[in-house]
Structure 1
């Protein structure tokens, strides 16, 4: 058997874990000790020594190189162990019936070669004839390793164990993994001890009885003779704070349907007093074989400060384990293969039955109970989601969406609406499938009635999904429009902040909020005329600052005489040259013979000086519509009104607005043309009315938009 070093480096990726070499060395030492104890049970404890040597390099001694030596008191490199060492895809450990042994594929040692130019081994083991020592000298030119490359010599029974030495770190590896920090910091004795406590905590705790009063010693020596030492011992291990398990449902990869089986995920939470445990960070990780593989801390602690500092005076380590993770861990042990982000997966070759999203749905609320910084309120986020996006508590419950620390209103709304979108697509697909089946059914059979019933129930169940998403979007959109109108009326929009001397466009801005200028309802259906009245939303035709002569009636003919625009201009010209080309800001027409005239006045312009405009418009529209329009509703909208100018108008019981009703008579013949109901409306009244109208929707949806302290 031969280990092809170059081929293995090409086919096995380098791990993204900067401590992977230490983890592999110590993990193999633990395995070797368990094998020794199984073969020769005695009252001994695990001892591992990790020595890191820094040496100066370069002509001026301004460079640094590093070597690592790991020595243990395990079983040593006997024949079986030596064969496994030179076999990349080995099943050696898989066949050992020893509790606590880490299963492997023999790829861990490939990380040694990814990180270092030279790998050496010195190991003493017991045979029937006594102790024997195997030695593999470090050699940078070695391309393959065979069992025959090991030297054999007599050994000392007292030296049973293995020492592996790694020399000359590769420049490419140093640039990729350690560019942001110095090797002296990464591999200081203190940092190695802190990080290995996190990496091996779960495994060491579970093997307390087998490892005895173990000691894992760390020593760093620099080129000037300085030595730093630290150690991790059995007495350093904390007790687990809490262990929780949850079941994740397995699903069909292509349909997403449940398969009737589950995978168990176990979460072990260690809550460590920061004054006792000097750890570099909090750690929440998916594990494989009791060791962290994929760090997911940032999902739950969003900022770097929260990740690296104690939370409420404690460091938190949460380790998530499952048989699925053991099976799916990748070769370089920094992630998992074959676990998709979402289900279903449209891949004919996948064998996945669980997605990360399924796992997170189950573990998120558990971790939220374990690790949540103070000052965060789930209720505040839920209220913000309702305020900003109209996603109410009932929708969170309906979609089984949980809010966890670090969630924003946007992220929660996106999750909810995505689930509704997926549900709507699935429901629609099922409806079409049922339709296809109905088309082939025979009406006189019982199956036909069954399909009809099934289709009706499917439609009924879908209505809730469609309506809840659409109605919520409508409420939030309208709430936003009301807020924009409120700001515009108070000159609070950024576009209204203009330099002195520039012409203000406040009337144009407010006009466009109600209905886009110079368009009609044939050109756009996206408007907000509901601000004035909900029923106007459904009138047959709306024109905004458009020529009235172009408006067509239901029979294809023109609603007004062709000369109406000229006469309107002439009418207004007689009043003021400034209004020569003016038309009603918005005119709304219904086929039952009603017209709504809306005239906006910019903030600060007195409305009482323009109350005659509505009457003039109504008279002209009535006269030129050839008897089609008889009922007129006029609205003069602004923010300034002098009550002394409103003689003959009546004041509303609430607010400062006025209304007036009058007949429209031809001034020459006295013939009755129609009737005008007119109102002066303050912008603040419109805002209040619209807010109350939205309030009805909120009540139906059980939305609370109020700000609570």
Structure 2
């Protein structure tokens, strides 16, 4: 019999677990003890001593030698055990029929040679009434191990058990998982004890009666830093709960299912000061893959107690036992999301199936009772404009451990998938835009949601913030265009006898009526000019005497609203109860006045309104306001009746620049730049501005 070391290394990948050799040594020691207990009547308890020693191999301490030894009181390396040791794909343990013994293919020892160039051992076992001692001498870089490489001697007495020694680190690992820094961090006695306790926790629990009053000692000597720790039955915690789940994979009328067990340990941090929380998929009673990061999204959550407790959640099942890979560091045999199988394999349970059931159960176990989902939802809405309705629409769940950033990304990803899967695209968005009502309370939230939905179809999340702004504004321009053309559903689906409210709807697109920026922080006066988006205060049909200047004083004299009322009564009966439709104020002393006229009302009949407003506001502000920008917007004009206005280049509107003068003294109070605009021109201007950004982002035309 021969163990081909080079062939085994070529056909078995190195494990991703840096402590895999420790796991394999202890697993073999436990198995050897269970075999001894079956064969002997004496009531002994498991005894294992695992030692790690690191010594400097150069003066600077940048190169070292690492040695790991494991001594146990198992059955020893008898003929059957030696035969199994020399057979890579062995079924030796499968046929022993000993409860709790590990099932394996003999690939664990290959990890010894992946990490170390020298493996030697010394063992004593019983044979009849006597003892035999077997040894494999120290030799570096073996290519094979033959049965003749073992030395077997008779002994009159002896302590049954095995002592195995791993030494001389494989050179390429000195700079990676077995570097000086990683060894000093990972191979301390306490670190190894913690790893063994929780990586083999389920096995210790299931074998509690079989292992007796066991004692596992860990000794480390890392460059002179020595420490020693022990593991006994008193250190094994009781589980908090055990839950069974069934997972199905369904295709048409056919389905397959698998059962799993979730064992939860909720441990008081004062009694179990662990380095981290652990959520793992197990195979053969040992953790084969950690999935903690799936549920605890940050290292802070993962590495600290949650509400005073550390959590260990272990998932087991026959499917995991069968699906684990040879290195026992993953489940390569279980598909991620395609369980259709092939001609011979048939349907399979996938990890997508497993997590669809497992996720809710694990979240229930680790979520503290005082955690608030509402807090995260509010932060997501504030930071990213993602509303509760968007979370629901995109089927995005908010779980303990989520950050607002992660939730927003999931919303965008889920919406992107929905756009692809449902082929919902621009035509659907246009129909949604057509159904918006600008004067409704949730108009701006709905347009934000629509813009996020479309922005989610972009290829990268990094573009999302700018893209959402561009898409949102594009959508708003479409709403304005439809409102001007009376194409919104709210304009066409009127109950009998109800008057159209076209002017009010257009007004609401720019800013909600009878509100100010103290109540509503968001507005869309950028439709006229981008700089107006940054004015300090905006009011829509609000009393002007309530406006405060930067020092808290009133901007206008107390009778300003009475004066405005008199002015409006002169302008026309239909405006008798109104104030300037929209007024924006800036601390530098400028004000923007926007007046909307209902479709069919000719602008030339009101071209002097802007000057009258400007004159009144300048006079009543005690000289604080001097720069006036006025906009009179409608859809009809008779150019012959205009005086003092010039046509805007390339557009249908008109503009003028005039001094604002005190009527009696003719003293100059300020200056007014005014424009008479068609609603269509406002739409075209805004569309051209946003078109530059759409081109840069390569967004399709709306």
The residue correspondences of 1:428-439 to structure 2 (distance < 5 A) are: none
- Deviation of 1:360 after TM superposition, in Å, equals 1.6
Partner Cα separation in structure 2 for residue 180 and residue 478 of structure 1:
57
Q: Is the 8 A contact 2:117 2:142 kept in 1?
A: no
Match of 1:651 in 2: 575
- State how far apart, in whole Å, the 1-side matches of 2:53 and 2:143 are: 25
The 2-side partners of 1:153 and 1:145 are apart by: 19
Equivalent residue in structure 1 for 2:367, among 372, 378, 397: 372
Matches of 1:180 and 1:59, distance apart in 2: 14
Q: Note closer, same or farther for the CA distance 1:154–1:391 as it changes in structure 2 (3 Å cut).
A: same
Which residue is 1:235 aligned to? 234
Structure 1 segment 246-645 matched on structure 2, within 5 A: 246-252=245-251, 257=252, 259-343=254-338, 353-372=348-367, 376-381=371-376, 388-389=385-386, 392=389, 395=392, 403-406=399-402, 408-414=406-412, 416-417=414-415, 420=418, 424=422, 478-479=447-448, 513=473, 527-529=478-480, 532=483, 535-536=486-487, 600=528, 603=532
With over 3 angstroms needed to count, the CA separation of the structure-2 counterparts of 1:478 and 1:515, relative to structure 1, is closer
Question: Are 2:72 and 1:77 equivalent residues in the alignment?
Answer: no
Q: 1:215 Cα deviation (Å)?
A: 0.6
How far the C-alpha of 1:392 sits from its partner, in A, is 3.3
In the TM superposition, 1:148-163 aligns within 5 A as 148-155=148-155, 157-163=157-163
> CA, structure 1 residues 536+198, in 2 after alignment: closer, same or farther (shift >3 Å)?
same
1:220-251: CA deviation from partner (whole Å, max 9, x where unpaired): 23565x64211011111110011112111123
1:401-435 deviations in whole A, cap 9, x for unaligned? 6745326332542575477568748x9xxxxxxxx
CA shift, 1:180, in A, is 8.1
Residue deviations 1:350-386 (CA, integer Å, cap 9, x gap): 7562222222221112211221357742234456778
Preserved CA contact (<8 Å) 1:365 1:404 = no
CA distance in 1, matches of 2:473, 2:395: 34
Who is 1:216 aligned against?
A: 216
- What SS does the aligned partner of 2:200 have? helix
Partner of 1:330: helix, strand, or coil?
A: coil
Which residue of structure 2 aligns with residue 245 of structure 1?
Answer: 244
Q: Deviations over 1:152-194 (max 9, x none)?
A: 0123654111111101111212322144834233211111111
- SS of structure 2 residue aligned to 1:369: helix
After TM superposition, the structure 1 stretch with the greater mean CA deviation from structure 2, 384-393 or 349-358, is 384-393
Equivalents in 1 of 2:111, 2:34: separation in Å? 23
Alignment deviations for residues 289-337 of structure 1 (CA, whole Å, 9 cap, x no partner):
1111111111111221222222222221111111111111111111111
Q: Tell me the residue number matched to 2:99.
A: 99
> What's the CA shift for 1:118?
0.3
Distance 2:146 2:451 in 1: 78
Q: Could you say what secondary structure the match of 1:196 adopts?
A: helix
Partner in structure 2 of residue 121 of structure 1? 121
Name the TM-score, length of structure 1 as normaliser: 0.62
SS in 1 for 2:478: coil
- The answer to whether the 8 Å contact 2:239/2:264 transfers is yes
SS in structure 2 at match of 1:177? coil
Cα 1:481–1:93, aligned 2, differ >3 Å: closer, same or farther? closer
The farther-off stretch of 526-535 and 275-284 is: 526-535
| Aligned Cα root-mean-square deviation (Å) | 4.5
Tell me which residue corresponds to 2:628: none
Change (3 A) 1:374 1:530: farther
Q: What does residue range 54-93 of structure 1 map to in structure 2 within 5 Å?
A: 54-58=54-58, 63-93=63-93
For the residue of structure 2 that corresponds to 1:342, the secondary structure is coil
Paired residues of 1:118 and 1:140 also in contact (CA < 8 A):
yes
| Conservation of the 8 A alpha-carbon contact between 1:250 and 1:258 | no
Aligned to 1:141: 141
1:134-168 per-position Cα deviation (integer Å, ceiling 9, x unaligned): 11012113210122211001236541111111011
Query: What TM-score, normalized by structure 2, do the two folds share?
Result: 0.63
More moved, 1-10 vs 416-425 = 416-425
Question: Residues 155 and 347 (structure 1 numbering): CA distance in 2 closer, same or farther, change over 3 Å?
Answer: same
Which secondary structure state, in structure 2, belongs to the residue aligned with residue 208 of structure 1? coil
**Structure 2 residue aligned with 1:561:** none
Cα deviation for residue 652 of structure 1 reads 7.8
Q: Residue 262 and residue 93 in structure 1: after superposition, are their counterparts in 2 closer, same or farther (change >3 A)?
A: same
8 Å Cα contact 1:385-1:392 kept in structure 2: no
Q: Which moved more, 1:82-91 or 1:54-63?
A: 54-63
Q: Which structure 2 segments of 5+ residues have no match?
A: 437-442, 453-468, 491-525, 536-562, 582-595, 606-634, 639-675, 683-702
Between the aligned partners of 1:665 and 1:209, the Cα distance in structure 2 is 95
- Equivalent residues, number: 505
Is the Cα contact below 8 Å between 2:447 and 2:475 reproduced in 1? no
Q: 1:665 and 1:217 mapped to 2: Cα distance?
A: 94
Give the drift of 1:94: 1.4
